[in-house]
Amino acid sequence: MPTELSRMAPRLSGVAIDAGQRARRLERLRALDRRLVTAAELPTPPPRPSFADPMERAERLAVGLGGAVETMPAGPVVVVERRTRLPVDLEPLRRLPYPVDPARPLISLDTETTGLGSSTGTVAFLVGLGSWQGDEFVTQQLLMADHADEPALLQAIDARITTDTWLVTYNGRTFDWPLLETRFRMFRRRAPVHAGHLDLLPIARQVWKHRLADARLASVEAAIAGVQRHEDLPGAMIPDRFFGWLRSGRPELLADVLDHNREDVVSLARLLGVMAGVLADPERRRKEHPGDLAGLARAYARSGRSDDALACYDEALSAWDAGDPAPSRLEWADVAADGARLLSRVHRHVEAEAAWRAVAERGGGSAAWAWIAIAKIREHRHRDVHGALEAAGRALAIVERRRAIGVPLRGAERDLGRRLHRLRRRAARAPVRHPASIG
Amino acid sequence: MRIHAPASVPAVVDRLLEDAVVAAAVVADRTLPQRDAVVRPFPSWLDERLRRGLHARGIEALYAHQAEALELLHAGLDACVVTPTASGKSLCYDLPVLQAVIDDPAARALYLFPTKALGQDQLASLRAFADQAGVELAAGIYDGDTPTLVRQTIRAAGQVVVTNPDMLHAAMLPHHTKWYQLFEQLRFIVIDEAHTYRGIFGSHVANVIRRLLRICAHYGSRPVVVTCSATIGNPLELAESLTGRRPALVDRNGAPSGEKRVLILNPPVVDARLGIRAGALRLAERCALGFLRAERQTIVFGGSRHAVELMLIRLREALREGRGPVSRLRGYRSGYLPTERRAIERGLRSGEVLGVVSTNALELGLDIGRLDAAVLAGYPGSIAATWQRIGRAGRRLEPSAAILVATSHPVDQYVAAHPELLFEATAEEARLDPENLHVLLAHLRAATFELPFEPQERFGQAEAHDLLAFLAEEGHVRQADDGRWYWASENFPASEISLRSGADVNVVIIDTGGDRPRVIGEVDQFSARTLVHEGAIYLHDSRQYHVDRLDWDEQKAYVRPVDVDHYTQAELAVTLKPLETFDAVDTRGGERWHGEVMVSSIASIYKKLRFETLENLGWGRIRLPEIELHTTAYRLALDPAAVADWKRDELDLALVGAGRAMQTVASILLMSDPHDLGLVSQVRSPHAERPVVYLYDGVPGGVGLAGRLFARHSELVAGALDLVRSCACQTGCPSCTGPSLETGGDARAAAIRLLAWLAEQATSRADAA
């Protein structure tokens, strides 16, 4: 190096680099950074075991965690395999409005990383995979013992995710998979092609979140599958555990991380079980919270299956008062309004009007909006100006009552101001017609 | 005679010179002859469509410099293009890029501009040209304002991606895997306005480019790099420092230009004792008015936002007389909305806008067409920037004029006394130091984050191993079993680096005396400690303000107008400790030295001094944090024996005065802002045990200014002597040795004596530099 430097230095601009000088400047920077602590206060660096042989490091980790070393062409990967009895019939998943094909091999996937985001400096050091073998759910956790083993880890993933695989993740579309794509891309390779990807986070948000404090996987699992975790490692501590292992060579630092990851992978399987066994079964889901059914109904509606959606809304509304404790009237009105809107969308206007009437009859602030909706249907669909005026008048009565007690419905007031004005003008010109006379 | 009547540029200049006030101020009057175009035919490989596009623009041949650049880039060779304002520089890279895209639609190019506005301007003109030529081109801008969906398209398919160094640094490189299509197919990197990448900003940008080239190598591409710069003294060296490559220089300008008259004016001295001159703004306005009234398109440059607004108001007032084109005169500076700025640029191109009063915002290559006259109220601080501004005037065939009006600032006075500097000296050198240890370490972290380092890999001029080992101590980087260095932290290092830090941070001065708070000006952080500390009397536009509060964290000073009989003077206690010697050379007058230093400065007290009598009315404390700076410095140490017969006071005076003059000349020599260099003089240095003058680099780690001063020692001393000798004052003034009130005594004579003696020593010995 010195000869090369002496050749470079006079040619290139800037300060000529003298290796000795730079070393001294670094030394001074060290001193500057540490001047606030005395030498005694400096933490003693832990003795760092040196692993000349990558195999040796991987063996040590595998032994410490109860796993085995798998040798890939690019190097060693630690694989920790566990089995749990989890008999599930996944076939009913087909009935649900979610993109999943139970005939394919479903693989649950969850990663543990050195940071958030999918920028290039974040590494997935642990990738947990899980799949059914008969009634048993088998988890395989792939772990790199050193940064240098990442290519081997990626090879191990590549070998397990076939083109036929359907991935099941929690926020995997946004986080885990893009991160893995980044990791493969770092080695100028493509992430494994697979048949599909079912992300349970948006489903959980739609179906269960309304009755939970947050949508974390552990919270959802506790509420839905009744599984409480004990001594679960907070996610924020995970990166430090990995760096700790790299520094100290103590496998036990990663034991909690492995448990946490395995819990997550198994949770995904349990949630799939609940989806197949409860959500996809019209009889069993009747006993669930009506809000869950409303969420499912919305999912059906979004995927264009309006008959299924309407059936779900019906189930939700009819099961409402049986609920214990009964959910609030406001929630009921929201669900009923969703159903009524869907009826309008599929041009079943008579049923839609009936549905809105049901909302109106339950009273409350929603009733004003229900009468406004009825006024719209009568005016625009049935060409019945007088009927519309009558409905708008009922809405006005509610709005005025609300204002009198000091809880005004401002949006409805503004809407009615314009609507009544127009309807009155049109009614003055139109002869009174009975709605039944419409051809 | 009517006040407003069209007239030619030479006629306006003649009329101006008949004005006694203007005539008396002229210190230089040169005519730059007309220059004919040097053209070459289109190269044979140029696609028919591009030829058609050029024809559509009335272009039948290329200028020599364009042809030269085209051949280099087409052959896959790096180029450094140096040509003046509006010489058709963009075509130098746009044509090879478009040709490459025609030959292979997968080819891609990355354009870097220092500001968003420039990027948008260039993209618009590139798209317009591609349309004219009928070439399908997917080009897009990638900056903070780009919507998410557009970003995805640009990543996947943008053949030309236009961005700025900040986005490259913080958004693109740390996410390079999302940009793999771009990096795999990258054929060209265009670095335009490269002369703006100097100082600490340039040092950062050079490291960002190192990271960029490292990522390109990872994806197997080796793009051609084209660097474009305005005229500076060391374009090749700048391009080398920035890119780490050795490009071929293209600097033979083939663009034609009409005859140009250049005048330098120095307003007359009104107070010889204090060395105060008449205002430069008034004189500049007087000149500008002549052109505007004659319907000649004119640009007026002011040194600050405040100066711009003031000139704009007064010029409009003057134009109103005789119903002049008031609405066709516009202001232009940062703080105006982008849409407003675009409208002004368009108006200038179409001729609808007759005049514009601007800050340096219009110094860069934004396309505003070519104007008839440029009036510079104040020397812009460097020869290169002066020519950039002067270059705004100059049509291809008709004559044009440029007028530079000097202020009483020392650098301006130096130029006024040595107008040949502007015409004959080569432009300044742009300095940056990519090896600045602070900058280097910061970017090494970011680079490790982006891609692990191979055991023997270099980063910049040397192997990265030692530096990585240093970083490993703080735990963010680790060496794995395979010998590679990996990022091992949750942190996102790019977010910890701001490319434009340091001197860009200004303290805003807010007048709370009116109906609502009003910003009246700003000062840089270093000056703020002595100018707007609490209790200071701040002078602004000949009004006095009392500083009620200085919010140091928020960078705001709250002031209110007062009328008092005194002013304040703060004392800045600066201590300087040499840490390491890089080089020291004996001269018979003493020794010149450069090395690493630690500078600590604290403003602790201020004095209240009565006007006229300078009687001390009391003092106050300043409570501001001490600032420490670990940087590099140049030092001139005098031989104690040789100055043994000097009185101590006299020597102090001479050191301060000579130091000030050297500081001024140094900023001229090195194309740096005078604030970039700090000055410390000591009659008896505790370290060198001799009388010394230090000039230190104002940013952590320095950008190589000190080393250059060390090398150009004799020029520095000779220049300083010249500056003080040719000053019109009697005993020293702010324009040469610093404010005489501060030093007292005959600073001028003392400084001349010291510098003359040093200059003699320097010339009597062969200077090793």
Neighbouring CB atoms inside 10 A of A190's CB total 9
Please give the residue that has the higher pLDDT: either B566 or B444: B444
Residues A379-396 have a mean pLDDT of: 89
Half-sphere exposure of A266 (CA within 13 A, CB side): 22
Find the closest chain B residue to A243 by CA distance. B488
- The whole-angstrom separation of Cα A394 and Cα A364 is 13
Query: pLDDT by residue (tens digit) across B542-576?
Result: 568 899 999 988 888 999 998 888 888 888 788 88
The pLDDT value given to residue B517 = 87
Phi-psi category of B4—alpha, beta or left, where left has phi over 0 and alpha has psi -120 to 50?
beta
The pLDDT value given to residue A347 = 87
Find the closest chain B residue to A147 by CA distance. B480
- pLDDT-wise least confident of A76-85, A158-167, B758-767: B758-767
| B768 — pLDDT class (breaks 50, 70, 90) | very low
Please give the residue that has the higher pLDDT: either A226 or B133: B133
Q: Are strands B373-377 and B329-332 parallel, antiparallel or unpaired?
A: unpaired
In angstroms, the Cα distances linking A244 to A124, A148, A236, A254 are: 16, 16, 14, 9
Residues B289-308 have a mean pLDDT of: 89
Q: What are residue B448's phi and psi, to 5 degrees?
A: -65, -40
- The SS3 assignment for A145 reads coil
CA angle A65, A71, A73 (to 5 degrees): 145
- The whole-angstrom separation of Cα A109 and Cα B23 is 83
The pLDDT value given to residue B552 = 85
Residue length of chain B: 769
- The whole-angstrom separation of Cα B554 and Cα B509 is 11
Q: Are B241 and A13 in contact (CB under 8 A)?
A: yes
Query: pLDDT by residue (tens digit) across B148-199?
Result: 889 999 999 999 999 999 999 999 999 999 999 999 999 999 999 998 898 8
Buried b (16+ CB within 10 A) or exposed e, A201-235: bbbbebbbbeeeeebebbbbbebbbeeebeeebee
Candidates A108, A123, A272; CA nearest to A187 is: A123
Query: pLDDT by residue (tens digit) across B471-529?
Result: 998 888 999 988 899 999 988 888 877 777 544 567 888 888 888 888 877 777 767 88
Q: Within B75-184, where are the H helices?
A: 89-103, 116-133, 148-157, 165-167, 180-184
Q: Are strands B537-540 and B543-551 parallel, antiparallel or unpaired?
A: antiparallel
Query: pLDDT by residue (tens digit) across A168-188?
Result: 999 999 999 999 999 999 999
| Alpha carbon of A334: minimum distance to chain B alpha carbons (Å) | 33
Nearest-by-Cβ selection for A120 from B175, B234, B482: B175
Candidates A398, A362, A361, A391; CA nearest to A376 is: A391
Contacts of B258 (CB under 8 A, 6+ apart): B34, B394, B395, B396, B397, B398, B399, B400
Is the CB of A52 inside 8 Å of chain B's CB atoms? yes
| Cross-chain Cβ contact A14/B177 below 8 Å | no
Query: pLDDT by residue (tens digit) across B96-110?
Result: 999 999 999 999 999
| B305 — pLDDT class (breaks 50, 70, 90) | confident
pLDDT above 50: residue A4: no
| Cross-chain Cβ contact B177/A239 below 8 Å | no
Provide DSSP, B286-307: HHHHHHHHTT--EEEE-SSHHH
| B211 — pLDDT class (breaks 50, 70, 90) | very high
pLDDT above 60: residue A46: no
Contacts of B301 (CB under 8 A, 6+ apart): B357, B358, B359, B360, B362, B363, B374, B375, B376, B377, B378, B380, B389
Percent of chain B that is helix, strand, coil (3-state, to 5): 40, 25, 35
Beta bridge mates, B188: B109, B224
- The SS3 assignment for A12 reads coil
Residue type for position A337: A
Provide DSSP, B257-291: B--EEEEEE-PPEEETTTTEE--HHHHHHHHHHHH
Residue type for position B577: K
Chain A to chain B, count of Cβ pairs less than 8 Å apart?
A: 125
Find the closest chain A residue to B198 by CA distance. A14
Q: Are B432 and B206 in contact (CB under 8 A)?
A: yes
- The whole-angstrom separation of Cα B747 and Cα B729 is 11
Residues B81-93 have a mean pLDDT of: 86
Q: Which of residues 226-255 of A touch B (CB under 8 A)?
A: 239, 243, 246-247
- The whole-angstrom separation of Cα B531 and Cα B735 is 19
Nearest-by-Cβ selection for B174 from A8, A119, A148: A119
- The whole-angstrom separation of Cα B196 and Cα B229 is 8
| Cross-chain Cβ contact B492/A117 below 8 Å | yes
Q: Are A372 and A416 in contact (CB under 8 A)?
A: yes
The pLDDT value given to residue B190 = 97
- The whole-angstrom separation of Cα B735 and Cα B758 is 21
Q: Indicate the average pLDDT of chain B.
A: 86
Beta bridge mates, B544: B539, B562
Q: Are A198 and A166 in contact (CB under 8 A)?
A: yes
Residues A300-314 have a mean pLDDT of: 88
Q: Are B193 and B201 in contact (CB under 8 A)?
A: no
Beta bridge mates, B97: none
Beta bridge mates, B186: B108
Query: pLDDT by residue (tens digit) across B64-77?
Result: 999 999 999 999 99
In chain B, which residues have their Cβ closer than 8 Å to the Cβ of A120? Answer: 174-177, 449-451
Query: pLDDT by residue (tens digit) across B226-278?
Result: 999 988 888 999 999 999 999 999 998 898 888 999 999 999 887 766 666 78
Find the closest chain B residue to A10 by CA distance. B461
In chain A, which residues have their Cβ closer than 8 Å to the Cβ of B449? Answer: 119-121
Q: What are residue B37's phi and psi, to 5 degrees?
A: -70, 145
Half-sphere exposure of A425 (CA within 13 A, CB side): 5
Please give the residue that has the higher pLDDT: either B283 or A344: B283
ipTM reported for the complex surpasses 0.85: no
Please give the residue that has the higher pLDDT: either A195 or A30: A195
Helix axes A329-345, A290-302, angle to 10 degrees: 20
- The whole-angstrom separation of Cα B49 and Cα B52 is 5
Q: What pTM did the predictor assign?
A: 0.82
Is the CB of A114 inside 8 Å of chain B's CB atoms? yes
Neighbouring CB atoms inside 10 A of B537's CB total 19
In angstroms, the Cα distances linking B163 to B184, B189, B406 are: 18, 11, 37
